[in-house]
Amino acid sequence: MKVNFFATLRDIAGGKEVVFDLDHGITAQELLEAIIARFPLMKKELLNTDGRMYGHVHFFINGRDVQFTDEKFETKIMQEDTVNVFPAVGGG
């Protein structure tokens, strides 16, 4: 599964696109956990002290921000889906 990172997250990930070897049909939450497990420095960039994603961070699956979908982070991700993660400019 390919995940595209943007802005400051690229520095942590070591590039724009990172491939994760994960099961077909995992949830967005499971992918988020895999991202943090692989890149521990992303935790402070993505999550607040309560473990929730900052409002200025966007986690898109096929162009839809999961924070604004009915399923939120329980949204299923398939291998062919496009996943983009980026902090909004000026967020912090």
Q: Is the pTM of this model over 0.75?
A: yes
Largest Cα separation within the chain, whole Å, is 34
Domain range summary for the chain, segments of one domain joined by +:
2-87
Cα 16 from Cα 5, distance rounded (Å): 5
Cα distance between residue 36 and residue 57, in whole Å: 14
Spatial contact of 47 and 54, defined as CB atoms under 8 Å apart: yes
How many Å apart are CA 72 and CA 59, to the nearest integer?
Answer: 10
The predicted-structure confidence for 21-45, as pLDDT tens digits, reads as follows 888 789 999 999 999 999 999 999 9
Amino acid at 35: I
The tokens for 58 are 């966007």
Q: What is the CATH architecture of 2-87?
A: Roll (3.10)
Look at residue 72 and tell me whether its pLDDT is greater than 70. yes
